Amino acid sequence: VSDFLMGDVDSGSGGELSQTRRSRSFQNLTADSGEHEELADSELSPVQRVDRALQQNDSGVESALLYAKAWSKYARDVMSWVEKRLGLDMECAKGFARMAESAKAVAAQQDYMPFRGVYVSAFENELDYSQSLLQTATSLQTNKFMQCSLACHKKCLETLAIQCGHKKLQGRLHLFGIDFSQAAKNSADGVPFIIRKCTSEIESRALNIKGIYRLNGAKSRVEKLCQAFENGKDLVELSDLYPHDISNVLKLYLRQLPEPLILYRYYNDIIGLGKEAQSIRTDNTHSPSLGVELNRVVFKIRDLLRRLPPAHYRTLHFLITHLHRVSEHAEENKMDARNLGIIFGPTLIKPRQLDADVSLSSLVDYPYQALMVELLIQHHRKIFDGQLSPAPTTNLPLSHCSQSLLDLKESSKSHKRFSSVLPSSHSGDEVRDTHTASRHEGREDTA
């Protein structure tokens, strides 16, 4: 390959490849075999001889690749020409059939016209010819060629371990639209490889690109990348692709999950917390207790997400951490936590679609979906506590901050109920008094 790049090897070389210094030295080493080598060569088929010549040449792989590209281009041009020719022949056959049908009808009515039978017979032959031409074109258009389901990047061609031959190749992976738990089984940490690969590529070279995750990629390139992911995770090369195509594939994968990362059964709870956070922001815009009230909602979100299955929790933590890194470059990419919440809110938090009423209610809840994802991004350290797995939910004690923000009557019994709402009339002094009283009650219960 290095000789080819430096121009030492002719790129147009075919089966008779030029002999370089390295290939000649190899032949000199094997020249001692004499008649045995000639006998072995005589037993080889022409295809095997070409393979041996390619293996002995320094640029054999590159020459084979160039030949395959040229043959593929030629075959594609031939198929394109055949399709165009079939289209023209079908239009011509339909036109001849219409003309022959109308002329046959006119000639059949002229009983005393000379050579009427000859004309009618000629018109019938034209109809038969047109019909056979249409059938031939239809049979050619309906035949389909099966692909081998193998996709390989140019960089991996020299070290490809899969042998085509007559062996059955590995089938396509079912990746998009399958249950998340099934996709998580193929990963050691529960995070699907497509999420990890796309986010890693975006963080490496696309954090400063304006409109990342907001702008969509080209539909044809996105579909091609989706097919590449399903062909095999080790055969996908993202270094040469557009960042918007990669981000679009990630959004498409999350959108096509049968059930979102935040499960359907927690939708009402999460929307209730979103409404609570929205009312706190609206009513206490200039109040000094805004941070305290909002922290109470944040800790409720944390306790709610701990109920998720481990794979869902780890993947949500991984994704939200990635979105936080994207929001840190908001000055360049214009994608702060609010904009990211608008994009990922309906994808991560959505209700079960059963009828039209549910679809209408999801439109009404759209602002709360966006707000909840915004809070997840802004307070991801408080919510996930730096862990990649949910903490046990049985007998889970509340933290010092969250316990100080709950109501006295429900702090010991209902601290896991996420629908409870602290009245907005509580002031900061009342919250502190409540915390003090709850600690005294806890000591008495312990005694």
The pLDDT tens digits of the residues spanning 387-444 come to 544 544 433 333 333 333 334 333 333 333 333 333 333 334 433 443 444 444 444 4
135 plus 223 within the same structural domain: no
Distance CA 247, CA 222 (A): 9
pLDDT of 338 = 95
Residues 343, 386, single domain; the answer is yes
Cβ contact 294:280 at 8 Å = yes
| Amino acid at site 7 | G
Q: How far apart are CA 136 and CA 170, in angstroms?
A: 35
Asked if the structure places residue 379 within a domain, the reply is yes
Give the residue, 94 or 7, on which the prediction is more confident: 94
pTM score of the predicted model: 0.53
Compute CA distances 118 → 96, 105, 112, 121, 128, whole Å: 18, 14, 13, 5, 15
| 153-202 tens-digit pLDDT | 555 544 454 455 444 445 556 788 888 888 888 788 889 999 999 999 99
Tell me whether residue 318 is in a domain: yes
Same domain, 295 and 331: yes
Say which DSSP state 145 is in. P
CATH number of the CATH domain containing 396 = 1.10.555
Sequence-distant (6+) residues with CB within 8 A of 174 are 230
Q: Which domain holds residue 431?
A: 264-441
Residues with Cβ within 8 Å of residue 390, at least 6 apart in sequence: 305, 306, 307, 308, 310, 313
Which positions ≥6 away from 254 have C-beta within 8 Å?
195, 260, 261, 344, 347, 348
Q: How far apart are CA 407 and CA 422, in angstroms?
A: 6
Question: Which residue do the tokens 């990348």 mark?
Answer: 225
Chain centre distance of CA 126: 53
In this structure, the answer to whether residues 330 and 427 fall within a common structural domain is: yes
Eight-class DSSP state of 215: S
Query: Does the residue 314 lie in any domain?
Result: yes
264, 307 contact by CB (below 8 A): no
What CA–CA distance (Å, rounded) separates 171 from 401? Answer: 53
**Total number of domains constituting the chain:** 3
Instruction: Evaluate whether residue 169 is within a structural domain.
Output: no
Tell me the CATH number at 70.
Answer: 1.20.1270.60
Q: How far apart are CA 167 and CA 16, in angstroms?
A: 29
pLDDT at residue 40, as a whole number: 54
At which of 86, 115, 141 does a domain end? Answer: 141
Q: Are residues 309 and 358 in the same domain?
A: yes
Selected residue with higher pLDDT from 339 and 88: 339
What's the confidence (pLDDT) of residue 273?
Answer: 94
* Same domain (yes/no): 406, 294: yes
